Structure 1
Amino acid sequence: MIARFAMPALLLAGLAAPAAAQDVAAGQRVFNQCRACHVIENNGRNGVGPNLHGVVGRKAASIENFRYSANMRQLAEGGLTWDEATLRRYIANPKDLVPQGSMAFAGIRNEQQLNDLIAYLKTQN
């Protein structure tokens, strides 16, 4: 009798499993979508978008000699910093965070790809 009630509880416990692990190598492959506009090399040049080396933890719109949109500069003046939460929101849908921004990218909505990409970005500091 107890086993009959224990089985549903065990099944529900399995549903509460932790989020999928982050895969840095997979994140590097996801970053290939970003390479059309961004580089990620230390002291690398800016492209259409700013160099993303060291982006995690960096204040938004802080790369010298890069022409950010007025909206991005305004948000940076308000304290926007690229922590994991803001990166996740921006990468998933750039216009959600910076509505008048100039980034012409629809976003990455796949949760695993977002996890992997952020894991990769963290290694590039």
Structure 2
Amino acid sequence: MKLLTLALAMTVFAAPAFAESHMAAESTIDMASLQGDAAAGEEQFNRQCVACHVVQDTATDEVLTGRNAKVGPNLYGVAGRTPGTHEGFAYGDAMIAYGETGAVWDEANFVSYVQDPTGFLREALDDNRARGKMAYQVRDEALAYDLFAFLATFGTEGDAAVDAEAAPSN
């Protein structure tokens, strides 16, 4: 019985360390290489994005930032996530098609997208009829980089693996 208790205790204590190293291994975002400033991105998110978006931990349902808005998809784990795949959000056809190209949200395509959502999708899909559902545009490129740096602090591909496997609804 002692051996079983000891083995169980070791498993419980080892799980967080294993999970952390596993998550780091799956991440495709190198935080040190990001051009933006996460602190400035937080300020901008709270000014520009909270009307439509929330950052809510998908495992705990805890709202980390935002006002629990549901107009746009939850941005938890957006860094490294396949576009158009967050479960429970009704994505547009163009965003779903963009995700089906094998793309993932990285700094470069995120910055381009938030500056001109429809223009970005039209160019990425080579389809002049493609339309983005996001009407807002981040006019300042530096602010777009800051926003991505901030959002990348809330998990990456490993955290959003469940979202990426879910049926697209953008």
Query: Fold match, TM over 0.5?
Result: yes
Task: For residue 67 of structure 1, give the secondary structure of its aligned residue in structure 2.
Answer: coil
| 1:46 and 1:66 in contact (8 A); partners too | no
Deviations 1:32-70 (A, max 9, x none): 211111101212567111100010110011111211101
- Tell me which residue corresponds to 2:78: 55
Write 1 or 2 for the structure with the bigger share of strand: 2
Identity of aligned residues (%): 41
Question: Residues 18-33 of structure 1: matches in 2 within 5 Å?
Answer: 22-32=36-46, 33=48
Query: What residue ranges of structure 2 are gaps of 5+ in the alignment?
Result: 1-34, 62-67, 122-129, 156-170
Question: Residues 1-125 of structure 1: matches in 2 within 5 Å?
Answer: 22-32=36-46, 33-43=48-58, 44=61, 47-98=70-121, 99-105=130-136, 107-125=137-155
Distance 1:120 1:79 in 2: 24
- Tell me which residue corresponds to 1:17: none
Query: What residue ranges of structure 1 are gaps of 5+ in the alignment?
Result: 1-20
Q: CA deviation at 1:72?
A: 0.9
Q: CA deviation at 1:76?
A: 1.2
Task: For residue 26 of structure 1, give the secondary structure of its aligned residue in structure 2.
Answer: helix
2:92 alignment partner AA: S
Which protein shows a greater Rg? 1
Give the number of equivalent residue pairs.
104
TM-score (norm 1): 0.75
TM-score (norm 2): 0.56
- Tell me which residue corresponds to 1:12: none
| 2:50 and 2:69 in contact (8 A); partners too | no
| 1:26 and 1:116 in contact (8 A); partners too | yes
